[in-house]
Amino acid sequence: MDLAKYRAIFVEEAAENFAEMGRALLALEKNPGDAESIDTVFRMAHSVKGMAASLDYGTISELAHRLEDRMHTVRDRGRVSPGEESALLFRGLEALEGMLEAVKSGSQPPPGDASLLAALRAPLATDAVAPLAAEAAAAPAKAPVAPLAGAAQAPTALRSASVSVPGPSSTVRVQAGVLDRFLSTVGEVILCTSQVRTAASDGRADGGPFEEGLDRMERVVGELQRRALDLRTTPILRIVEPLPRAAREIARRAGKQVEVVLAGAELELDRSILDRLSDPLVHLVRNAVDHGIEPPAQRRASGKPEAGRIAIEARREKGHVCIEVRDDGAGIDLDRLRARAVELGMLHPDLAADLTPAQAAALVFRAGLSTAREVTEVSGRGVGMDAVRATVEALGGDVEIETQRGRGTTTRLRVPITAAVQRVLLVSVGGETLALPIAKVERILETPASAVEQSGSDAFTLVDGELVPVLELASLLKLDPPPRDALRVLVLAEVRGDRVALGAARVLGQQQIYVKPVPELLAGVRALAGFTILGDGRPVFLLDPNQVA
C-alpha cells in the first residue's frame, strides 16, 4: 500500500474533521445540549481514530479514542458540562491538531499528554459515585512530568520546521455534481468536434456548418474554462473557521474576553489566494485581541461590554472579495505612532504633523515599525503588518486600516476572486514583451519626450496638473533603453496606492491571459507575478507593478 498517499489523505481529511469538531465544540459552548454537535464531535473523533490506527499513528488514535469515549458519556448525559469539561474537550482537540502538524511535517506524532488522557477518562462528579470521581481527580497528579512538557513543546517546534514540506493542498475535493456538469460540457465539446469534422469532410471548410461548429466549440470551451476555474474556488469558511477558536485562546491567555462573529464565510475565493490569506488573517485577529480589545475591567470602566467583539466579515465587490476584521477595542494611538515613525527616522517631524488620520494609521504597514517592541500598543499593531500588506499586494489586492481612539480598529483586505485569469496590457520594453495587470492601469499616455522632466536621477511628468513620477521599465529591469523618439509612451498605473507613469517603448494591446506561476528558477525575482504563453508560443512575464518600483 502506498503509505505516503494515505498519509496525505489522512492529513487533509483529519484537518477537515478537526475543523468540524472545533465548530461543533464552539456551538456546544453556546448550547451545551445540542445533540447534533455532540454527535458531530463523537463522529469526528471516531473517524480520526480509525484513520490514525490504519496508519499506525498510535498516539493519535489513542487520544481520539479517549475523546470518542468521553463524547459517548456526554451523549448519554445529554449535554457537555460547561467550563471544565468544555475546556477539556478543546484541549483534546488542540492536542490532536498538534499531533497532526507533526504528521504533516513528516515525523511521527509526539506522545500523548498523560494528564490530558487521564482527564478525558475521568468522569464528571455527576457521572459517577463520589469515590470514583475522587480517584480520577487524583490521577492527573500521578502522571509523570517529563512527557507533559515534551508534548506541549513538540508541536510548536515542529510547526515552524514544517514550512518547506509540501502540504496536502495539491489535492482538491470536488462535489460529484460539479464533476457531472463538467463531464456534460465535455460531451458538448465532442459533439462540436464531430460537427466540424463532418463539415470538413464534406469539403465545406469555408463557412456554414463549419463556422457554426467552430463558433459553438469556442463557446463550449469558454464554458469549460469557467467551470475549471470554478473548481479552483473554495469557501472562505475554510480559513476563517479556526479564527473564533484562535481568538478565544489568545484572549484566555491574556485574561480578556472576546466574542468573534463571522459573516459572509460562504463566499468563494480561488484556493491559491485563500491559502495565502490564512496567515494574514490569523495575524489580524491576534493583533485585535492582543492590542485592540481591552481587559474586562478597562472596558467596563469605559462603558463597554466586558467581552470584546471582533467581526470578520467577507463581502463581494465586483471581481474582488473584501475581508474585514473589525474590533471594538481601544483603537490605535496615532500620536504615538507618528512619534515613533519620527523617532525611527521614517518621517520628518513637520510631515508627521500634517498626516491625516488615515495616512497616520497606514504607518502601521511600514516595515520598520514592526520592530518597535518597547511601545507595545503601537508595536503590536506593527508586528508583521508589513508582511500582511506584502502578501495581499502580491495577490493583486490591497489593504487599508481605519482606527478610532476608544472605538476600535478595522482592517480591510481586498483580493481578486480568481488569480488564474487576468486581463493584461501587453507592452514592449527593450525588445521584450511584458504584461501589466489591467486592473492597475489607469490609462495610457502618449506625451512629447520633452514633457518628461529630469530632476537629478528622478523623472517627472505633469498629468492633470499633478506631478507624477516616471519610472522607466527598461532601466528598472535592466533592459535596453527605449528609442529616443519624439513621443513617449507612458502607462499611468497605480503603484502602492500612488499614481506612477511607467515608461515603455510601445503598447501592444490588451489580452486575457491565463497566469501560470513563475518557474522555480525565477521565483526569487519579486517583480515577476507570473507568466503566460501567448498564442504565438512566446512566453510573457506578468509584472507586479508594486514590486517593480
Supply 172's cell numbers.
Answer: 482538491
Stretch that binds another protein, among 36-44, 237-245, 293-301, 482-490 (CB under 8 A): 36-44
Distance of alpha carbon 379 from alpha carbon 291, whole angstroms? 9
- The phi, psi pair for 301, rounded to 5°, reads -60, -30
Q: Is 54 in the site for another protein (CB under 8 A)?
A: yes
Q: Is 42 in the site for another protein (CB under 8 A)?
A: yes
Strand partners, 140: none
Task: Enumerate the H helices of 288-320 as residue ranges.
Answer: 296-301
Stretch that binds another protein, among 50-58, 123-131, 284-292, 522-530 (CB under 8 A): 50-58
Q: Are strands 432-437 and 539-543 parallel, antiparallel or unpaired?
A: parallel
Tell me how far, at minimum, the Cβ of 13 lies from another protein, in Å: 5
Q: Is 47 in the site for another protein (CB under 8 A)?
A: yes
Stretch that binds another protein, among 37-45, 292-300, 369-377, 430-438 (CB under 8 A): 37-45
In the DSSP assignment, the letter for residue 517 is P
From 28, 41, 49, 410, residue interacting with another protein (rule: CB under 8 A): 49
From 23, 46, 283, 309, residue interacting with another protein (rule: CB under 8 A): 46
Q: Which residues contact 94 (CB under 8 A, 6 or more apart)?
A: 249
Q: Is 18 in the site for another protein (CB under 8 A)?
A: no
Supply 269's cell numbers.
Answer: 475565493
Please provide the size of the chain in residues: 549
- Which residue, among 426, 423, 438, has the nearest Cα to 538 in the 3D structure? 426
Stretch that binds another protein, among 44-52, 177-185, 359-367, 501-509 (CB under 8 A): 44-52
Residues 158-177 that bind another protein (CB under 8 A): 173
C-alpha distances in Å from residue 410, one per residue of 21, 192, 330, 400: 29, 52, 11, 8
Distance of alpha carbon 300 from alpha carbon 283, whole angstroms? 26
Nearest 5°: the CA angle 203, 205, 209 is: 100
Supply 494's cell numbers.
Answer: 497605480
- The phi, psi pair for 258, rounded to 5°, reads -150, 145
Question: Nearer Cβ to another protein, position 21 or 334?
Answer: 21
- Which residue, among 454, 438, 448, 503, has the nearest Cα to 474 in the 3D structure? 503
Stretch that binds another protein, among 47-55, 140-148, 384-392, 420-428 (CB under 8 A): 47-55
Stretch that binds another protein, among 3-11, 267-275, 382-390, 500-508 (CB under 8 A): 3-11
Q: Is 66 in the site for another protein (CB under 8 A)?
A: no
Strand partners, 411: 325, 401
CB 48 within 8 A of CB 60: yes
Q: Is 10 in the site for another protein (CB under 8 A)?
A: yes
Tell me how far, at minimum, the Cβ of 51 lies from another protein, in Å: 5
Q: Is 193 in the site for another protein (CB under 8 A)?
A: no
From 33, 50, 481, 519, residue interacting with another protein (rule: CB under 8 A): 50
Q: Is 514 in the site for another protein (CB under 8 A)?
A: no
Question: Nearer Cβ to another protein, position 9 or 549?
Answer: 9
Residues 116-155 that bind another protein (CB under 8 A): none
Distance of alpha carbon 284 from alpha carbon 411, whole angstroms? 8
Question: Nearer Cβ to another protein, position 1 or 521?
Answer: 1
Tell me how far, at minimum, the Cβ of 71 lies from another protein, in Å: 11
- The phi, psi pair for 303, rounded to 5°, reads 75, 20
- Which residue, among 213, 189, 190, has the nearest Cα to 202 in the 3D structure? 213
What track of x and - describes contact with another protein for positions 68 through 107 (by CB under 8 A)? -x--------------------------------------
Q: Which residues contact 248 (CB under 8 A, 6 or more apart)?
A: 258, 260
Tell me how far, at minimum, the Cβ of 159 lies from another protein, in Å: 23
Q: Which residues contact 99 (CB under 8 A, 6 or more apart)?
A: 57, 59, 60, 63, 109, 110, 112, 155
Q: Is 238 in the site for another protein (CB under 8 A)?
A: no
CB 32 within 8 A of CB 81: yes
Distance of alpha carbon 474 from alpha carbon 481, whole angstroms? 5
Q: Is 27 in the site for another protein (CB under 8 A)?
A: no
Tell me how far, at minimum, the Cβ of 42 lies from another protein, in Å: 8
Q: Is 9 in the site for another protein (CB under 8 A)?
A: yes
Question: Nearer Cβ to another protein, position 12 or 472?
Answer: 12
CA 95 remoteness from chain centre: 24
Strand partners, 95: none
Q: Is 53 in the site for another protein (CB under 8 A)?
A: yes
Q: Is 43 in the site for another protein (CB under 8 A)?
A: yes
Question: Nearer Cβ to another protein, position 69 or 333?
Answer: 69
Tell me how far, at minimum, the Cβ of 26 lies from another protein, in Å: 19
What track of x and - describes contact with another protein for positions 472 through 511 (by CB under 8 A)? ----------------------------------------
Question: Nearer Cβ to another protein, position 47 or 403?
Answer: 47
Supply 337's cell numbers.
Answer: 505612532
Stretch that binds another protein, among 40-48, 131-139, 507-515, 524-532 (CB under 8 A): 40-48
Binding site for another protein (CB under 8 A): 1, 6, 9-10, 13, 40, 42-43, 46-47, 49-51, 53-54, 56, 65, 69, 173
